Amino acid sequence: MVERMSAKIKKVIDFVKWSKVMRKTNIKAMFIIFFVWGTDVVSKYFIEKNFSDGSTLRIFGDYLQFRLVYNTGGVFGIFQNNAMIFHILSGIAILFLLIYYLRSTYEDVFFNIAIYFVLGGALGNFTDRFFRKGVVDFIDMGFGINRWPTYNVADAFISIGAIALLISFYLSEKNNVKKVT
């Protein structure tokens, strides 16, 4: 009798957990993630079709230009020619972020959108690692020889999302401190 009751309780708990996951994986979330991913994929497709490796188009003088490069390493081009390591690391990072998001208790819209931006961008670069000879980077910013590392739309969304996450964590912690005092 006790075993049957505990089995039923376990089923109810599993259902509650699943419904919580379903609440967090709504259409709005999927739309934002796939919008970020799609924007990245389309921009890279356009660049690859219209630029040869290393060719440059000045958009705003020397400050902003498009230049096709393939990044076979990690962020900012570090550890070039280690594609397999970054296939694995980016896959693990995406899974970790998904699990963290699904298990988090944050109900803040700002937090959720930040996570969607990071996930969409990570999926964009993850896709490149499988279907291209490297991650397509093309946004080149700077003055003269002082240039920021070339990046792409996915990197921009990842950066914006990461900054938004930090702000969200800060504001959440600040609110928790106010509640305690």
pLDDT digits (tens, 9 = 90+) for 81-138: 666 677 778 888 889 888 888 877 767 788 889 999 999 999 999 998 888 888 899 9
Lowest-confidence pick of 5-9, 18-22, 94-98, 149-153: 18-22
pLDDT (average), residues 10-16: 55
* CA-to-CA dists, residue 152 to 14, 45, 62, 155, angstroms: 40, 12, 18, 5
Residues belonging to the active site: 137, 155
pLDDT of residue 108: 78
144 phi/psi in degrees, rounded to 5: 60, -125
Q: Where are the domains of the chain?
A: 26-180
- Given phi > 0 = left and psi -120 to 50 = alpha, else beta, which region is 120? alpha
